[in-house]
Amino acid sequence: MKLHVLTAIVFSFWATFVSAQDPIFIVRDRVGTVKEGSIQRILSANSLEMLSADGKSFTITNPVYLNRKNKVSPRFPQTKALWLLNDDCIKFEDLLMKDDSFEFESSDFVSGSKTLVPLLDTKMIWLKNPLGILDPVSYRNKILDEIRTKDVVVLNNAERVEGVLESLDAKNAVLDSGTVKSEYKSDSIALIGLSAEENPKKEKAIEAVSLVLDSGSRITLAEFNLSMGILEGKTMQGAKVRIPITKIQQAVFLGKSVVRIQELKNITLRQVPFFETPMEAKGIKATKNSDLWISGSSYSNGFSTMGSTSITFLLDGKYQKVCGFFGFHDIDGRRGRADIKLLADGKVIASWADRTWKDGLGSLDLTLAGIKELSLVIDASVGSKINWCECLLFLAD
């Protein structure tokens, strides 16, 4: 009997200790409810099980955002990052050519495991020389064997040249623009972006979770399952990964009914730059492979506005809700202030007066049922660069 009691005490202590080591996350669901706790299971993009600080289990249905408590999301990795077709990037230690794939290890994943990513599923950025690649000659030969569509060469003087990469060695690169072939010395090249726009494995509208890890890596998983603190899944290109939950900083849950607002068609933008005349534009420029800084955190998807701006999004009554984050850019937005309004079919549904960088991160959580047009109107001063991040529209049921 004493042994049973002792065993129960030891087990209880062990469970409490393990629970205390679990990272605490703040989760926001689709109806705007915010809760915090440790994550026990991720059942799908529509459901996750959590444990509160007092040990009570609860389920979050239709989660939207997940953030580590008291943490800021890091910027993109600046070196040794493998870029995938959907603009995800994975931090690596060593990158080795193996047949038609890259093989590498990453501190983002469970120690000792190697990951294989087919060459055709990557969108490599060449910085001077193939950083971290153990077999550069094999690397160059492999990429030139594939059918190219349109590559980009950026020179040290910021000149940008487009064409098809015809040859590439340690000293020179030859680019065929269709009308002329140009040769460039490697020392004059800042980077080479390899084309992959036509690859059919590009990200599709499926249920997925988009992760930001401690290292700054961005990984979107199309299949995933959390067990014993390890998130196992597959990237959008099918590469298997195993990620400790302790390395996850931020997550955005995507689904078939979710659209990022900058991906809409028929967006009308009217911008009034400082001391200049108004400009009309066909759409907003989505930010990818770049950091959108708000309150110390780096966001991966979104767009920025500067000066007085009016943007109209055509919804046609298809969407029931919009969620997202906004705030003044940590570097370029510190001096400005702005009045911000959101209008649905011409009526103000949300407003923020005299907003500044000191106000930090703002959130959007608005009902749009039956709305045909959503308009963002900003009246801003100099130094008011505003980032709009992870703004998601949810299709009506």
Q: What is the identity of the amino acid at 344? A: A
Q: Is 270 part of any domain? A: yes
Helix (H, G, I), strand (E, B) or coil at 114: coil
| Strand order across the 101-104 sheet | 95-98, 101-104, 115-118
Shared domain check, 174 and 289:
no
Q: In whole angstroms, give the CA distance from residue 67 to residue 35.
A: 11
Q: Using CA of residue 269, residue 270, residue 274, residue 277, what is the dihedral sign?
A: positive
* Selection from 160, 121, 176, 114 nearest residue 143 by Cα: 121
Of 164, 193, 222, the position where a domain reaches its end is: 193
Q: What range does the domain containing 272 cover? A: 258-395
Q: In whole angstroms, give the CA distance from residue 106 to residue 319.
A: 39
Please give the mean pLDDT across all residues of the chain: 84
CATH number for position 358: 2.60.120.1060
Q: Is 91 part of any domain? A: yes
Given a cut of 50, whether residue 277 has pLDDT beyond it is no
Over residues 279-312, the pLDDT tens digits come to 444 456 655 557 899 999 999 899 999 888 999 9
Shared domain check, 268 and 183:
no
Of 154, 169, 193, the position where a domain reaches its end is: 193
Per DSSP, helices labelled H in the chain are 2-21, 136-145
Q: Whole-prediction pTM value?
A: 0.81
| Contact criterion met (CB below 8 Å) for 214 and 75 | no
Q: In whole angstroms, give the CA distance from residue 313 to residue 342.
A: 11
Q: Is 248 part of any domain? A: no
Shared domain check, 177 and 89:
yes
Q: Is 327 part of any domain? A: yes
What's phi and psi for 119, nearest 5 deg? -55, -40
Shared domain check, 294 and 186:
no
Shared domain check, 268 and 390:
yes
| Contact criterion met (CB below 8 Å) for 25 and 39 | yes
Helix (H, G, I), strand (E, B) or coil at 16: helix
272 vs 103: which has the higher pLDDT: 103
Residue 271: which pLDDT band, with cuts at 50, 70 and 90? low
What's phi and psi for 328, nearest 5 deg? -70, 140
Q: Is 170 part of any domain? A: yes
Of 136, 166, 193, the position where a domain reaches its end is: 193
Over residues 132-184, the pLDDT tens digits come to 778 888 888 887 877 777 888 888 887 888 888 888 888 888 999 888 999 99
Q: Is 200 part of any domain? A: no
Give the count of domains, the chain.
2
Q: Is 231 part of any domain? A: no
| Structural Rg of the chain based on CA atoms | 24
Q: In whole angstroms, give the CA distance from residue 264 to residue 284.
A: 10
| Contact criterion met (CB below 8 Å) for 375 and 390 | no
Shared domain check, 170 and 284:
no
Given a cut of 80, whether residue 91 has pLDDT beyond it is yes
Phi-psi region at 216: left, alpha or beta (left = phi > 0; alpha = psi -120 to 50): left
Neighbouring residues of 157: CB distance < 8 A, sequence distance ≥ 6: none
Q: Is 21 part of any domain? A: no
- Which 8-state DSSP code applies to residue 304? E
Shared domain check, 150 and 276:
no
CATH number for position 86: 2.30.30.100
Shared domain check, 265 and 391:
yes
Over residues 42-56, the pLDDT tens digits come to 877 888 999 999 999
Over residues 217-237, the pLDDT tens digits come to 999 999 899 988 999 999 988
How far CA 376 is from CA of 162, 214, 310, 313, 395, in Å, comes to 35, 33, 6, 8, 19
Q: What is the identity of the amino acid at 387? A: N
